[in-house]
Structure 1
Amino acid sequence: HQDLPILVDGLAAFAEKAALELDPVLAAAALAFGFVYIHPFEDGNGRLHRYLIHHVLSQRGFNPQGLVFPVSAVILDKIEDYRKALETYSRRLLPHIRWQSTEGGNVTVLNETTDFYRYFDATPHAEFLFECVARTVDVDLPMETAFLRRYDHFRAQLLVMVDMPDRLIDLLFRFLHQNDGKLSKRARQREFAAFTDNEASQIEAIFASLNAG
């Protein structure tokens, strides 16, 4: 615990100066993984770690202003590769740390370890993050953009046919998306009981036309 202020101050100094001269992805990897190794809090370190990745990329203008760059979703999807990246350093570090367990179920470190966290090799972490960023740009963002475009077209065509609140349009689109473009018997009897058979068929046809386009 006595090392935490020094390490956190060092991380902040890196973010304010040296990181600004690095490629945004390299800076994000060094800062975010450096933070998660320091592990300054009892809870929430992982969430803050992912926030730092987003923050650095956004701060450096990596993504357009106002756009949430969904790299966290890719990281979570590649969670085993993420763990491997973490362990490339943590496993090598463990033999060099002397510690003993405490009554509270925690540990006390018995030797000097500050430099282990101050000067770690972030190459595997940067490579992993570059892979995640590449998939976000090449796969996830185009898919999300296409999904939103389909939704906008669906909504516009639906409102020509019938007046409907956005909440119900959202629900209807999700139902059709999850059920191969068809409204189930249960959905017709419950959430969308107000639709006539003709309206339900027209709505399914509108959704099918999105895929045809």
Structure 2
Amino acid sequence: MMALDDIASACSGPAGDCLPQIVEGMMEIAHAAKDVLFKKESFKQLSVYLERVAPVLKELIKKDISYSRNLNSVIEILNQEIKAAKQLTADCTKRNKVYLLMNSRTINKNLEEITREISRALGLLPLASLDLSIGIIEEIEELRDIMQRAEFKAAIAEEEILVKIESGIQERVVDRSYANKLLVHIAEAVGISTDRSALKKEFEEFQE
């Protein structure tokens, strides 16, 4: 199977040679997103978008579209964003849960950027010259609009804990009771045991 890194550089012929690899990458992400440890709803949202974009790309494959500058840009953007989404999905599947919580806002921002860039790629498709059905054109336009406005927000519990952590740092809180309560809240938010040994292990991994 062709690596995602190589898709754009390998595309010097019909777009149909490149798009199947991108579609495959989208489906891999949608499948892998089911196993993330963090931001499950956000990754589910991303998966829904990708699962709607994939059939559109399959329609383009059927048309055996000739390679062009516009299509080159579309493929480059999709290639880059699928790579980014794949890495983000892997991180949220394998990385330490406390690390993921502390980077919650960055993860949300990355999900939004990926989604909006894919929307931008759809906007570069020369719809008037592609001989697509009205239904497919409407789907592309709807997806482009929805994905451009997509927002990925932290759960209320996550945001509350991040605010408490920031507040504690700014106010230089050194009260042990406050710290212990905060640790328990963090554990509950990321779905780990509040048992002392489990907490210790999780935070040791976070500090590595």
Higher relative contact order (CA 8 A, sep 6+): 2
**TM-score, normalised to structure 1's length?**
0.31
**TM-score, normalised to structure 2's length?**
0.31
Higher helix share: 2
